[in-house]
Amino acid sequence: MAEYRLKTPLREEDVRKLNIGDIVYLDGIIYTGRDEVHIHALELAKEGKNPPVDFKNMVLFHCGPLMKKYGEEWKVIAAGPTTSSRMNGLEPEFIERFGVRAIIGKGGMSGPTVEAMQKHGAVYLAMTGGAAALAADSFKKVHGVEWIEFGMPEAIWILEAENLGPLVVGIDAHGNSIYENVDEAVARNRKRAESVLGL
Amino acid sequence: MIDKETVENRVFELLKKASTGVPPDVRKALENAHSRESEVVPKMQMKAILKNVEVAETNSLPLCQDTGVHIFFVKGNLKLIDSFSEFEESIRNGLKRATEEVPLRPNAVHPITRKNSGDNTGVRMPYINYIPTDDPWLEITAFPKGAGSENMSFMSMLTPSQGLKGIKKFVLDCVIRSGGKPCTPTVIGVGIGGTSDIAMHIAKEALLRPIGDRHPEKDMAELEEELLRAMNETGIGPMGLGGKTTVLDVHVEYAYCHTASLPVAVNTQCWTGRRARARIYENGKIENMEG
């Protein structure tokens, strides 16, 4: 497995070279976005309007950070990943419409997202869930916030990362998913678990 | 009587403690999990978790951005509470202050409009459970619960004929279905018997027990150990990326149930195992409890 340090915006070739199990560290601007951002950005797109930031070639972070305002300046207090599977239903369309190149999250995403990532050239980067104090240390600057009216966790936070990682390539742009591999292994291991339980 | 300031200050301190560090039993379990993992990816996850705990404790800042919804358990001599409305007001004030100062993420929203109250309070939030006993103290437990793990809650009304095997199969199904979503390695609380709500309630109460603690009844203690071994055979591993450690422990609680019922519930706690408790005595003395 290889290790990469990448800077946003990402080019398609940057993400096409990645394989599941590779380790990535990121620099540059990253946008947070979870349930409400997906819902509202896609609603706007249907009306022919654009969301307040351009996701093209950028990194979407499934994260509702804990932020604090000191004077006029926001600071990241804790910013770990949220459970990505909640966005399963909307992510394929989000990738297609907005051209996002990488998604950072936890827990993995389902088949249609794996296919969308292969088709449009995007990857899923797994961050350690709950490791939010560690991640906060990598966000050096907050460039702004959009859609704060949805509440702190659901807004789009524009964060500048420095050496954010280690992130594990969980889904690559070639149709491979660590999560699908683990699911297959778990299905095989289930017999062992059942035998411990006398089932 | 216990005065308002004592309650408010203690609630603030408990929330800060629960959010910015892990109890000693959890730390030990996480260290053991790190030693146990041998493959690169799961070992890296456990290393990041341990490093994160260190950073959070050093900076006195939250471990995780999801600082939870706020559940409290108030146990002991409830006669020490002069006015329940004032007591609950003190808990709310302690929570609002912690939200501002620790800080905690404002997570409480109206379930339909999704409007965020901004201070973690709202209708029935914080949720306060009372457990009256004859002890000389009043024990307050802060139990902030993150959504990643809480969303992995399950309950089923099994038929009595499904029996113990049915219970074991249900728990295994729940853990496999959850995968890495609840931030594995997790602690699994299993509630058996009672009614549907009792099963869910005791499954959550089971999560208050420290890691390694065994049920006082031998059969239940054996069931806990068997479930623990079995869940770690699944290979889900830390963060669902594969590995040897899927759960840190399994705690079982039970209640007698109707002869025609067999309720079973699973409640999951993420690796942070957030909880903090303190006992307040009538003379105002405070005893901070470990874990």
The Cα A197–Cα A4 span in angstroms is 43
pLDDT at B284: 87
Q: What are phi and psi of A129, to 5 degrees?
A: -65, 140
**Would you state the pLDDT for residue B39?**
95
Bridge partners, residue A26, by sequence: A6, A164
Flag whether B33 is in a domain: no
Which residues contact residue A189 at a Cβ distance below 8 angstroms, ignoring those fewer than 6 apart?
Answer: B233, B234, B235
How near does any CA of chain B get to the CA of A92, in Å? 19
Rounded Cα–Cα distance for residues B126 and B195 (Å): 24
Do B140 and B280 have their domain in common? Answer: yes
Which pLDDT score, from 0 to 100, does residue B1 have?
83
Q: In this complex, do A66 and B103 lie within 8 Å of one another by their Cβ atoms?
A: yes
CB contact under 8 Å between B49 and A128, yes or no, is yes
Instruction: Look at residue A1 in the predicted model and tell me its pLDDT.
Output: 83
Cβ(B24)–Cβ(B291) below 8 Å: yes
Query: In the prediction, which pLDDT does B237 show?
Result: 98
Q: Strand runs (DSSP E) across A43-122, as ranges?
A: 59-61, 66-70, 73-78, 102-105
| Residues sharing a CB contact under 8 Å with residue B13, sequence separation 6 or more, in sequence order | B276, B278
Count of domains for chain A: 1
Q: Would you say how long chain B is, in residues?
A: 291
Is A6's pLDDT higher than 80? yes
Which chain A residues are closer than 8 Å to B239 by Cβ? 106-107, 126, 128-129
**B15 plus B78 within the same structural domain:** yes
Q: In this predicted structure, what is the pLDDT of residue A89? A: 96
**Rounded distance between C-alpha atoms, residue B60 and residue B39, angstroms:** 31
CA distance B254 to B198: 9
pLDDT in tens, B144-177: 999 999 999 999 999 999 999 999 999 999 999 9
Nearest to B55 among A137, A168, A178 (CB): A137
Mean pLDDT across the stretch A42-69?
96
Q: Classify residue B280: in a domain, yes or no.
A: yes
* Cβ neighbour number for residue B33 with a 10 Å cutoff: 27
Q: Which residue has the tokens 């007698």?
A: B256
Q: Mind telling me how many Å the CA of B154 is from chain A's nearest CA?
A: 17
End-to-end CA distance of chain B: 26
Query: Are B135 and B153 found together in one domain?
Result: no
Is B162 in the same domain as B228? yes
| CATH code of residue B134 | 3.30.360
- The pLDDT tens digits of the residues spanning A26-51 come to 999 999 999 999 999 999 999 999 99
B215 inside domain: yes
d(CA B235, CA A124) in angstroms, rounded, equals 21
* Integer Cα distance of B255 and A87 in angstroms: 37
Judge if B117 and B258 occupy the same domain: no
Chain B interface, mutation test: which of A62, A77, A181, most B Cβ atoms within 10 Å?
Answer: A77
Mean per-residue pLDDT, A79-105: 97
Respond yes or no on whether the N-terminal peptide bond of residue B185 is cis (omega within 30° of 0): yes
Number of domains in chain B: 2
Given A38, A40, A62, A174, which residue is catalytic?
A: A38
- Cβ <8 Å between A80 and B65: yes
Max Cα-Cα span within chain A: 61
Looking at CA atoms only, how far is residue A103 from chain B in angstroms?
A: 16
C-alpha–C-alpha distance, residues B218 and B214, integer Å: 9
| Residue A64 near residue A152 (C-beta atoms within 8 A) | yes
A40 a catalytic residue: no
Q: DSSP 3-state assignment of A138?
A: coil
The pLDDT tens digits along chain B (291 residues) read: 889 999 999 999 999 999 999 999 999 999 999 999 999 999 999 999 999 999 999 999 999 999 999 999 999 999 999 999 999 999 999 999 999 999 999 999 999 999 999 999 999 999 999 999 999 999 999 999 999 999 999 999 999 999 999 999 999 999 999 999 999 999 999 999 999 999 999 999 999 999 999 999 999 999 999 999 999 999 999 999 999 999 999 999 999 999 999 999 999 999 999 999 999 999 889 999 986
- The answer to the question of residue B55 being in a domain is no
Q: What phi and psi, each to the nearest 5 degrees, are found at residue A58?
A: -105, 180
In a domain, B56, yes or no: no
Examine the domain organization and report whether B131 and B172 are in the same domain.
no
Q: Output DSSP code: residue A154.
A: G
Only one residue has tokens 């041998």, namely: B38
Q: Give the Cα separation of A109 and A175 in Å (integer).
A: 12
Average pLDDT over residues A20-30: 97
Name the β-bridge partners of B252: B190
Which pairing describes strands B154-158 and B262-269: parallel, antiparallel, or unpaired? antiparallel
- Residues B21 and B52: their CA atoms lie apart, in Å, by 10
Taking an 8 Å cut-off on Cβ atoms, the answer to whether B172 and A197 are in contact is: yes
Q: What is the largest CA-CA distance in chain B?
A: 56
Measured CA to CA, the distance from residue B268 to residue B146 in angstroms comes to 10
Q: State whether residue A150 is helix, strand or coil.
A: helix
Identity of the residue numbered A128:
T
3-state SS, residue B180: coil
Nearest CA in chain B to A180: B241
Whole-angstrom Cα distance, residue B23 to residue B25? 6
Chain B residues within an 8 Å CB radius of A134: 48, 51-52, 55
Chain A CB contacts of B236 under 8 Å are 182, 186
Residues B218 and B125 both lie in one domain: no
Q: Which domain holds residue A120?
A: 3-196
Integer distance in angstroms from the first to the last C-alpha of chain A?
Answer: 38
Place of tokens 């778990």: A186
Q: Is the domain of B158 the same as that of B199?
A: yes
- Report yes or no for ipTM above 0.90: yes
Residues of the domain holding B155: 148-269
Smallest CA–CA distance, residue A96 to chain B, in Å, is 25
Residues B167 and B120 in one domain: no
Q: Which of B99, B241, B269 to mutate to test the interface with A (most CBs of A within 10 A)?
A: B241
Tell me how far apart the alpha carbons of residues B205 and B130 are, in angstroms, rounded to a whole number.
12
Percent of chain A at pLDDT exceeding 90: 99
Let me know: does B79 contact A40? Beta carbons within 8 Å. Answer: no
B88 shares a domain with B15: yes
pLDDT digits (tens, 9 = 90+) for A161-196: 999 999 999 999 999 999 999 999 999 999 999 999
For residues A115-136, average pLDDT: 96
Q: What is the CATH number of the domain that holds A9?
A: 3.20.130.10
Q: Are residues B117 and B254 in the same domain?
A: no
